Structure 1
Amino acid sequence: MTADTRTGHDLAATLTVVVIGSVMSVLDVTIVNVALHPLAVALRAPLTAVGWVSTGYTLALAAVIPTAAWAMARFGAKHTYLAAIALFTAGSALASLSWNIQTLVLFRVLQGLGGGLLMPVGMAMVIRAADRRRMGGPMAVLGIPVLIGPVAGPVLGGWLIDTASWHWIFLVNLPVGGLALVLAARLLRHDGRQPARRLDVPGLLTLSPGLALLIYGLATGGSRGDVTEPGALVPALAGLALTAGFVVRSLTAREPLLRLRLLADRTFAAALATMVLFAAGYFGSMLLTPMYYQTARGLDATRAGLLGIPLAVAVGTSMQVATRRIDRASPRLMILSGIVIAALGLSGFAGLLGPDAPYWRLCAAMAVMGVGVGMVLMPLNTTATRGLPRDDVPSGSTTLNIVSQVGVSIGTALMSVVLASNTAGTGIGTQRAGAFQHTYWWAVALLALALVPAVLLPRRSAALDAPPPVPQPASQQPASQQAASQQAEPARASRGTA
């Protein structure tokens, strides 16, 4: 087996495992989101308490993501990913056995500890296994869960609740998690011995609680419609202070938790800035859409979910096409064009809002936005990480996931506060539709602001300049692969001479 063939097999195996794990995670989030009201009824708990089923998961996610880079260096990517799948699956099993809201929230936190590692570790493994000159295809495959989850999750969740019971929204994860565990154990390649790396404990004790407090404060302010309320402002400011302390620490520590010096790379820094603004605008607007259909138009949750399918299909389809083209297209041109299209689509949706706006026009406008979103999200991830040195990939993918999560939290909180200030005292009809319209313009403004850092992205694709994947040392390969590698050595030498 040649080195190129071996690399192709490793990449295919890694993608198979990571996509299955990501589909499980994305489906879980979308299923639980439609199940909050049934959970409140079944567990006899107020909706404010049931909201912690999602909030607790998110906070655990934010707290554990910063450890991903260290865990990969200390234990290896394969072992870290196996642990993440095991935690998520065990949390799912325990959540299905919950006997009250307190235990359900506790087990959702356990799920979040596993879920927080799935995406950064999975992305890092794919980037390491891929040829940097041809990353578009693998990253497009990595985007498949974004297509499946938002389309299938609400429908599957509603069906499970209506035909079975709420327990099944967690039990459905068990066969998928079991399959992912078996495939990961069999297909993923061992990283080999890594130099011992000390855990940056001061960095961890500032960043993980800092992110959790910041996101908690934003979520609390959004739910109460006032970010200046002490219960929201105090934790948010404390989170900002701890995060600032982490930044100072990471720039001076010998072995920081995350290598923030990567921000000296203009492409990486511009991609992060673009991501936080775009994620805030896009995911913030996604909070508004089902609420508009239900509170301003009087639709039930099922019909509101069905109206979101055209957007999800447009995002997934566009993402597949755009990400496969990013190896040859100009990153700056593609991502700028995607931001403009997304902003125009959302503007069209906002302009149409009213108590009697035809649903087909609203779905068409959202589909236009979806085309733009697909041109931004995965191509932006690919552009940000393509040029990173191999040893910096874990820090890069972890930082990218943190920034994305913070952007989502900022956008969700901002839209919640603006909407609350505009809907006070309004009922179903023209007034409430006008309140949503005003709020959507804030989301459009955030999307437009993302154009500013996107201008700094590279004009020319770096695919042809990127280094090829580094073959695994023979001492770290199984015996069969060592023999194949030795047989392929003369062929590689002749190609290098030519």
Structure 2
Amino acid sequence: MDRVVPSRWPALLVLCAGSLMIILDGTVVAVALPAVQRDLGFTAAGLAWVVNAYLVAFGGLLLLLAGRLGDLLGRRGVFLAGVALFTVASLACAVATGPALLVGARFGQGVGGALAMAVGLGMIVRLYPDPVERARAIAVFSFTGAAGASVGTVAGGVLTQAAGWRTIFLVNVPIGAAILVAALRRLPAERGIGLRAGLDLPGALLATAGLMAAILGIVGTGEHGWTSPRTLGAMAVAALLLGGFALRQRVAATPLVPSRVLRIPGLVAANAVQFLMVCAYFGFQFLLAVELQLVLGLDAAATGWAFLPTPVVIAVVSLGLAGRLIARWGARTVLLAGLALATVGFLLLARLPADGAYVVDVLPAMLIFGVAGGLTLPAVTTVAMAGATDTDAGLASGLANTTQQVGGAVGLAVLATLAAARSDGLRAVGWAETAALAGGYRTAFAVAAGLVIAAWLVALTTLPRRSTGPSAATDPSAPATVGAGTDPYRSAASG
């Protein structure tokens, strides 16, 4: 079996380091929010925007604008610009003296993170045209994303408790500078296809504004509710803008989303699966972190450490097994197996009692989620990027990343709302506070299990099993299609 070309690993590690820094920052702030509120005088409602400002910018820009800019201008240049902006904005966060300054700097972090993340997968497609090598590289890249989200909880608690909340942002400055230097040395210089190939600026503005409006409406549901005028108004604006974008793509001379991209085998189906499973995964991480503190009585640092088994197992599975399993059995099969395991994990949490013990009632689910995440995240990414060529890899990468961000926002909002509503109902009939909270979280985790089952069904029924395309051995433009009559997500080298 072929091995990944060693000289490409430094470039892959630079991309992974950038991904880790950016994704970690999305969760590291969660544990520090009480300290931020005390220091800067945030109101309870305003505090949510320390998270929401980042999410709105990050999710709104990822899909088309940032990814397409990478295709047109060169992905290395866009990656460098994104990391630089993220690093400067991190410094601004660390020295912020008031709520408005911190929220504005967090928005800047989101823009920089979007630029860097949107082109990462596209660069991996270019670096690893062979499907076996690509599967392994994507497994490494996916691990950094999954681990970053979990490690962020640990890092946020430890840094905040040891040196104050400003250090969670300040630490990004030397890390970001090191990534910039390494990127200049290790990432291959490349030229984009050029702005003459067409940047549909009206379409880009419609898509970006529409996504921002949608995410703005979603992240505000915890404060305003799903049926409030604010939420309904934001969603109506989002629908109008995204509808206008769809119409624009039908008449634009150089559409931002060419129809050929949506015809890439498995792309739309893989993103649908990813949306459903990330809805569940993201909600699990935040809701369980709160439940461990409010129901089981762990402090912030202990809560962070409680999540550590998940990224450790993800590392073992994604780095040691996922690439080989995908090469042997195909990404679709691995994805289905991982989703089945994730369902078991959520069902275990759906029975977590108010007087539960971490080792008995939580740790088994943590370990299962580690295996499930290590299998599903690289598998679904492999499927989503399988048919992407150099011309459209940035666009496909941006689409995959945006599906993750929007799915995370929707999942957290839906599951948190359901948990709160169920807890309120239980309190109304006389349940004690801790028991009512536990009952609400059990409901949310049961719904999360349903979302994963839905993802499993979509994957089973819509992801293509076989390819009728040319062989990858003879057609380098179809890197993940290895021959007629074969699984398009499995390498011919797997034998």
Query: Which TM-score tier does this pair reach, normalised by the shorter chain?
Result: 0.7 to 0.9
CA distance in 2, matches of 1:50, 1:222: 12
Superposition pairs for residues 58-97 of structure 1, below 5 Å?
Answer: 58-65=55-62, 66-97=64-95
Instruction: Quote the offset at 1:150 in angstroms.
Output: 3.9
The alpha-carbon distance between structure 1 residues 155 and 180, as it changes in their structure 2 partners (threshold 3 A), is same
Superposition pairs for residues 46-65 of structure 1, below 5 Å?
Answer: 46-65=43-62
1:439 aligns with 2:444: yes
Query: Would you say the 8 A contact 2:85–2:108 is kept in 1?
Result: yes
TM-score normalised to structure 2 length: 0.88
The alpha-carbon distance between structure 1 residues 52 and 45, as it changes in their structure 2 partners (threshold 3 A), is same
Q: 2:18 aligns to what?
A: 21
Q: 2:368 aligns to what?
A: 368
Which residue identity does 1:153 align to in structure 2?
Answer: G
The alpha-carbon distance between structure 1 residues 12 and 189, as it changes in their structure 2 partners (threshold 3 A), is same
The alpha-carbon distance between structure 1 residues 198 and 46, as it changes in their structure 2 partners (threshold 3 A), is same
Q: 1:107 aligns to what?
A: 105
CA distance in 2, matches of 1:157, 1:60: 21
Q: Structure 1, residues 370-407: CA drift from partner, whole Å, max 9, x if none?
A: 31222111111112212222212111111111222121
The alpha-carbon distance between structure 1 residues 193 and 85, as it changes in their structure 2 partners (threshold 3 A), is closer
Q: Which moved more, 1:109-118 or 1:281-290?
A: 281-290
1:204 aligns with 2:201: no
Query: Would you say the 8 A contact 1:217–1:231 is kept in 2?
Result: yes
CA distance in 2, matches of 1:304, 1:56: 25
CA distance in 1, matches of 2:259, 2:54: 26
Which residue identity does 1:433 align to in structure 2?
Answer: A
Q: Secondary structure at the match of 1:390?
A: coil
Instruction: Quote the offset at 1:348 in angstroms.
Output: 1.7
Q: 1:228 aligns to what?
A: 227
CA distance in 2, matches of 1:10, 1:62: 33
CA distance in 2, matches of 1:68, 1:467: 32
Which residue identity does 2:65 align to in structure 1?
Answer: T
Instruction: Quote the offset at 1:346 in angstroms.
Output: 1.1
Superposition pairs for residues 280-429 of structure 1, below 5 Å?
Answer: 280-320=279-319, 321-351=321-351, 353-361=352-360, 362-424=362-424, 425=427, 427-429=432-434
Query: Would you say the 8 A contact 1:203–1:257 is kept in 2?
Result: yes
CA distance in 1, matches of 2:284, 2:464: 28
Superposition pairs for residues 76-225 of structure 1, below 5 Å?
Answer: 76-134=74-132, 135-146=134-145, 148-192=147-191, 194-195=193-194, 196-224=196-224
Q: Which moved more, 1:7-16 or 1:199-208?
A: 7-16
Query: Would you say the 8 A contact 1:133–1:468 is kept in 2?
Result: no
Correspondence for 1:430 among 418, 431, 435: 435
CA distance in 2, matches of 1:223, 1:302: 27
Q: Secondary structure at the match of 1:328?
A: helix
Q: Secondary structure at the match of 1:98?
A: coil
CA distance in 2, matches of 1:75, 1:189: 14
Q: CA RMSD in A?
A: 2.4
Q: Secondary structure at the match of 2:391?
A: helix
How many corresponding residue pairs?
Answer: 465
Correspondence for 2:464 among 443, 448, 458: 458
Instruction: Quote the offset at 1:422 in angstroms.
Output: 1.0
Query: Would you say the 8 A contact 2:210–2:239 is kept in 1?
Result: yes
Unaligned runs of 5+ in 1: 472-498
1:8 aligns with 2:14: no
CA distance in 1, matches of 2:254, 2:114: 22
Instruction: Quote the offset at 1:108 in angstroms.
Output: 1.0
Query: Would you say the 8 A contact 2:339–2:455 is kept in 1?
Result: yes
Instruction: Quote the offset at 1:18 in angstroms.
Output: 0.4
The alpha-carbon distance between structure 1 residues 136 and 400, as it changes in their structure 2 partners (threshold 3 A), is same
Q: Which moved more, 1:247-256 or 1:232-241?
A: 247-256
Correspondence for 1:43 among 40, 45, 70: 40
Which residue identity does 2:91 align to in structure 1?
Answer: A
Q: Structure 1, residues 55-104: CA drift from partner, whole Å, max 9, x if none?
A: 00111112321212331133211111110111000101111111101001
Q: Which has the larger radius of gyration?
A: 1
Q: 2:487 aligns to what?
A: none
Q: Secondary structure at the match of 1:376?
A: helix
Query: Would you say the 8 A contact 1:216–1:235 is kept in 2?
Result: yes
Which residue identity does 2:177 align to in structure 1?
Answer: G
Query: Would you say the 8 A contact 2:153–2:307 is kept in 1?
Result: no
Instruction: Quote the offset at 1:36 in angstroms.
Output: 0.9
Instruction: Quote the offset at 1:10 in angstroms.
Output: 5.8
Which residue identity does 2:102 align to in structure 1?
Answer: L
Which residue identity does 2:245 align to in structure 1?
Answer: F
The alpha-carbon distance between structure 1 residues 427 and 295, as it changes in their structure 2 partners (threshold 3 A), is farther
Instruction: Quote the offset at 1:315 in angstroms.
Output: 3.0
Query: Would you say the 8 A contact 2:71–2:391 is kept in 1?
Result: no
The alpha-carbon distance between structure 1 residues 334 and 186, as it changes in their structure 2 partners (threshold 3 A), is same
Which residue identity does 2:197 align to in structure 1?
Answer: R
Which residue identity does 1:293 align to in structure 2?
Answer: L
The alpha-carbon distance between structure 1 residues 147 and 284, as it changes in their structure 2 partners (threshold 3 A), is closer
Which residue identity does 1:12 align to in structure 2?
Answer: W
The alpha-carbon distance between structure 1 residues 34 and 252, as it changes in their structure 2 partners (threshold 3 A), is same
Unaligned runs of 5+ in 2: 478-495
Q: Secondary structure at the match of 1:34?
A: coil
CA distance in 2, matches of 1:137, 1:252: 40
Q: Secondary structure at the match of 2:30?
A: helix
Which residue identity does 2:392 align to in structure 1?
Answer: D
CA distance in 2, matches of 1:464, 1:444: 38
CA distance in 2, matches of 1:462, 1:190: 34
Query: Would you say the 8 A contact 2:89–2:109 is kept in 1?
Result: yes
Q: Which moved more, 1:460-469 or 1:19-28?
A: 460-469
The alpha-carbon distance between structure 1 residues 171 and 86, as it changes in their structure 2 partners (threshold 3 A), is same
Instruction: Quote the offset at 1:109 in angstroms.
Output: 0.9
Instruction: Quote the offset at 1:230 in angstroms.
Output: 1.1
CA distance in 2, matches of 1:385, 1:466: 15
Q: 1:483 aligns to what?
A: none
Query: Would you say the 8 A contact 1:76–1:194 is kept in 2?
Result: yes
The alpha-carbon distance between structure 1 residues 164 and 39, as it changes in their structure 2 partners (threshold 3 A), is same
Instruction: Quote the offset at 1:142 in angstroms.
Output: 1.0
CA distance in 2, matches of 1:276, 1:61: 16
Q: Which moved more, 1:153-162 or 1:168-177?
A: 153-162
